[in-house]
Chain A
């Protein structure tokens, strides 16, 4: 039972353009959502998060949008840079007091120079 789904295994964009990574979830109890970035042979690093009481959160080039009615969130990266090439994981939590995260399968982003 995959509660968090990233249906696109990979995405390729040109440097300077927008990257949009998508994530769908099924559990309506999720109240906190996060995006992590992972380089090979390293652990995931936190990128940006959003609480279910918001529909948008922005941090520099990264913006996360949350559509609760559609159970969908997306990460926008503008402008995309070659250093953004990595695997991006969407994660969700149904109890923000414990920090237990449910991750999606990941999307590999390649930003071409």
Chain B
């Protein structure tokens, strides 16, 4: 089935490097979310896209983090000058629209495990 896919599944990088994480949402889903899950914690909201625009980026921790969704489908999360504290699993989710309801659930991808050495 065509679920949410994320690439790469694993990324190891050195402190100070730049990384890009990609998310392919379910076709037709207009809403896309990025979350970050640190060890032993639940997912933490980063940013929400409705179509091409970032409707809520209140969860981005600082200006090293940036995300785009230029055509309203694939999204890329970009992290500049990575730090060891950025190590986490980055999860992407999509839903038909941004409204929450029992019939409009968020479907999550398997995540990208980022390790910053």
Interface footprint category on A: 20 to 34
Interface size on B, residues (CB 8 A): 30
Query: Does B93 reach chain A (CB closer than 8 Å)?
Result: yes
CB–CB B106/A101 < 8 A: yes
CB–CB A99/B4 < 8 A: no
CB–CB A98/B55 < 8 A: yes
Given A43-B4, A103-B42, A106-B42: A98 touches B56 (CB 8 Å cut-off): yes
Give the docked Cα–Cα distance between A93 and B50 (Å). 17
CB–CB B98/A98 < 8 A: yes
- Across the interface, name the chain A residue whose C-beta is closest to B31: A99
CB–CB A44/B108 < 8 A: yes
Q: Smallest distance from the beta carbon of A100 to chain B beta carbons, Å?
A: 5
Query: Does A28 reach chain B (CB closer than 8 Å)?
Result: no
- Across the interface, name the chain A residue whose C-beta is closest to B37: A103
- B45 partner, pick from A89, A97, A102, A106, beta carbons under 8 A: A102
Give the docked Cα–Cα distance between A44 and B59 (Å). 19
- B91 partner, pick from A43, A104, A105, beta carbons under 8 A: A43
Interface residues of B in 37-58 (CB under 8 A from A): 40-45, 48, 55-56
- Across the interface, name the chain B residue whose C-beta is closest to A6: B42
Q: CB-defined interface of B16-36 with A at 8 Å, one 1/0 digit per residue?
A: 000000000000000101010
- B110 partner, pick from A41, A97, A102, beta carbons under 8 A: A41
CB–CB A99/B95 < 8 A: yes
Query: Does A32 reach chain B (CB closer than 8 Å)?
Result: yes
Q: Smallest distance from the beta carbon of A95 to chain B beta carbons, Å?
A: 9
CB–CB A99/B42 < 8 A: no
Q: CB-defined interface of B54-87 with A at 8 Å, one 1/0 digit per residue?
A: 0110010000000000000000000000000000
Contacts of B100 in A (CB 8 A): 32, 34, 49, 93, 96-97, 99
Chain B positions near chain A (C-beta within 8 angstroms): 4, 31, 33, 35, 40-45, 48, 55-56, 59, 91, 93, 95, 98-102, 104-111
